């Protein structure tokens, strides 16, 4: 096995993407913990807080495909510089909010800034990551995002206790701006242009491909539709967890803020393990079997089934430690789907990786709009903090079946060959 060098060009790019994923999730989920502060200050109901949670997702949904196309067309470097500056400013503006409307406006701007980030990073990985390492790359970057989820409750509570909820957004915004500066100095669009790149690294990376002049939108939408639906099923659970888990332990078990943050962090750290292991396992299955269907579709289906199963006891036993165990296991298995899912757009249509992954992520973005609001409504209407998770179990059951319709082993027929490379030699 080749030795991993932290200072190699490919490693630097992957580390920078990991940091970006960490920051973006810190910036988008800090609001869940800070809600204990601004919800009380602005006298908001759970339904209104749910609206604040979901406001981010409206522009996030719209700019998934647009951002993916922009990153394919103009490059991941420029796309992420612009988007990073935008989400940093939006985070700072959240701290300056004076009520519900200004909170909603800041969250909308955050969604606009972060909308293109994951499609753009996938477009970068399509150039910078070898095919047999795609699952690991997606798994480890998303694991970094879950570390952002996990540390956010504790860090935000500490900042709130020391200074206030507003300061938590100011600090996150400054970190975001620092990342933009470093990204602009360390990333090159094409691996061959990086000053640290070696011949050995270039030899294992995908061959350079020409920019696609025109995206076959209709055909690509149709091809990615099953993947998008499955990702919606996953996204419902993700956004329910990200939005309400900190509040769940705080209110369902009447814990102190610091203790509820500890339990929430435990659940989110389980997701870190799931993301990392999922990326490793999907690559291992592909290396051993040579089957993308087994490495992607079968694995996603099995992990969704496990998620459903471990959440069932949550509906029948109102016990703090049973709840923590069920939610941690559920998040672990749900996150194991991330590595294979985000590798699928690169498997199906590497030339349009940004656009295809943007199409897929519209599923999660749509779930991000609906899931937090439905969760807040059910809590307000029925007074049950467990009831929202019933929707997660039902959608996971749908995902178990539909995962077999994704067909990652079937290359997108609209893909174009590089002029200097016959179609038969393109990655299968």
Range of 131's domain?
A: 12-187+216-412
The pLDDT tens digits of the residues spanning 49-73 come to 878 887 888 888 888 888 888 888 8
**Averaged over 234-240, what is the pLDDT?**
91
5 in a structural domain: no
pLDDT of residue 209: 63
Is residue 162 included in any domain, yes or no? yes
Residue 311 lies in a domain: yes
| Residue 54 belongs to some domain of the structure | yes
For the segment 103-115, what is each residue's pLDDT rounded down to a tens digit?
999 999 998 888 8
What integer is the mean pLDDT of 364-390? 85
pLDDT band at 5 (very low <50, low <70, confident <90, very high): low
More confident residue, 259 or 313: 313
Q: What is the pLDDT of residue 6?
A: 55
Average pLDDT of the chain, as a whole number: 85
- Asked whether residue 261 is assigned to any structural domain, the reply reads yes
Average pLDDT estimate for 11-17: 91
Q: What is the pLDDT of residue 233?
A: 95
Domain assignment present for 342: yes
Q: Considering only residues 398 and 314, tell me which one the structure prediction assigns the higher pLDDT.
A: 398
Decide if 369 contacts 54 (C-beta within 8 A). Answer: yes
Confidence at 122, pLDDT banded by 50, 70, 90: confident
Query: How far is 154 from 261, CA to CA, in rounded Å?
Result: 5
Q: Are 317 and 336 in contact (CB under 8 A)?
A: no
Which pLDDT score, from 0 to 100, does residue 427 have? 37
What was the pLDDT predicted at 210? Answer: 60
Q: Which carries the bigger pLDDT value, residue 131 or residue 167?
A: 167
Looking at the structure of the chain, the number of domains it has is 1
Residue 418 lies in a domain: no
Task: Record the tokens describing residue 157, joined without a space.
Answer: 């509570």
Instruction: Identify which of 56, 130, 60, 399 has the alpha carbon closest to the alpha carbon of residue 286.
Output: 130
CATH no. for residue 366?
1.20.1250.20
**Mind listing the pLDDT tens digit for each residue in 245-262?**
877 888 778 777 778 878
Compare 220 and 247 and report the one with higher pLDDT: 220
Mean pLDDT, residues 77-94: 93
Specify the pLDDT at position 426. 34
Q: Assess if residue 347 is contained within a domain.
A: yes
Of residues 353 and 292, which shows the higher confidence score? 292
pTM: 0.77
**pLDDT tens digits, one per residue of 161-215:** 889 888 988 998 999 999 999 999 999 988 888 888 888 888 878 776 665 557 8
pLDDT (mean) for 303-321: 92
Does pLDDT of 419 surpass 60?
no
């Amino acid at each position: 096995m080749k030795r991993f060098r932290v200072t190699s060009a490919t490693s630097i790019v992957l580390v920078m993407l990991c940091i970006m994923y960490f920051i973006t999730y810190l910036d988008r989920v800090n609001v869940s913990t800070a809600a204990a502060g601004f919800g009380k200050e602005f006298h908001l109901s759970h339904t209104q807080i749910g609206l604040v949670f979901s406001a981010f997702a409206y522009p996030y949904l719209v700019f998934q495909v647009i951002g993916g196309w922009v990153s394919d067309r103009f490059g991941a470097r420029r796309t992420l510089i612009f988007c990073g500056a935008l989400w940093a400013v939006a985070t700072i503006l959240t701290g300056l909010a004076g009520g519900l409307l200004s909170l909603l406006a800041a969250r909308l701007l955050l969604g606009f800034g972060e909308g293109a980030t994951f499609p753009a990073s996938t477009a970068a990985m399509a150039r910078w990551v070898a095919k047999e390492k795609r699952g690991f790359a997606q798994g480890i970057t998303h694991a970094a995002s879950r570390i952002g989820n996990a540390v956010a409750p504790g860090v935000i509570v500490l900042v709130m206790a020391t200074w206030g909820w507003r300061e938590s957004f100011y600090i996150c915004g400054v970190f975001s701006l620092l990342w933009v500066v470093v990204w602009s100095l360390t990333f090159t669009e094409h691996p061959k242009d990086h000053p640290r790149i070696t011949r050995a690294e270039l030899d294992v990376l995908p061959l350079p491909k020409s920019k696609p002049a025109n995206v076959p939108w209709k055909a690509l939408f149709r091809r990615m539709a099953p993947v998008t639906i499955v990702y919606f099923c996953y996204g419902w659970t993700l956004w329910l967890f990200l939005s309400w888990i900190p509040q769940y332990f705080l209110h369902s078990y009447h814990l102190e803020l610091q203790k509820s943050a500890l339990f929430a962090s435990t659940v989110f750290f389980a997701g870190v393990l799931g993301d990392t292991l999922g990326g490793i396992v999907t690559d291992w299955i592909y290396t051993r079997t040579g089957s993308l269907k087994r490495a992607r579709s079968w694995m996603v289906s099995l992990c969704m089934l496990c998620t459903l199963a471990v959440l069932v006891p949550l509906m029948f036993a109102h016990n703090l430690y049973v709840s923590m165990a069920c939610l941690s296991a559920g998040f672990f298995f749900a996150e194991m789907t991330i590595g294979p899912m985000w590798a699928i757009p690169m498997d199906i249509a590497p030339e349009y990786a940004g656009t295809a992954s943007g199409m897929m992520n519209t599923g999660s973005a749509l779930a991000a709009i609906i899931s937090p609001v439905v969760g807040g409504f059910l809590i307000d209407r029925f007074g049950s903090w467990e009831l929202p998770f019933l929707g997660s179990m039902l959608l996971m059951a749908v995902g178990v079946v539909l995962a077999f319709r994704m067909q990652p082993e079937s290359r997108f027929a609209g893909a174009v060959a590089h002029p200097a490379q016959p179609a038969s030699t393109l990655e299968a």
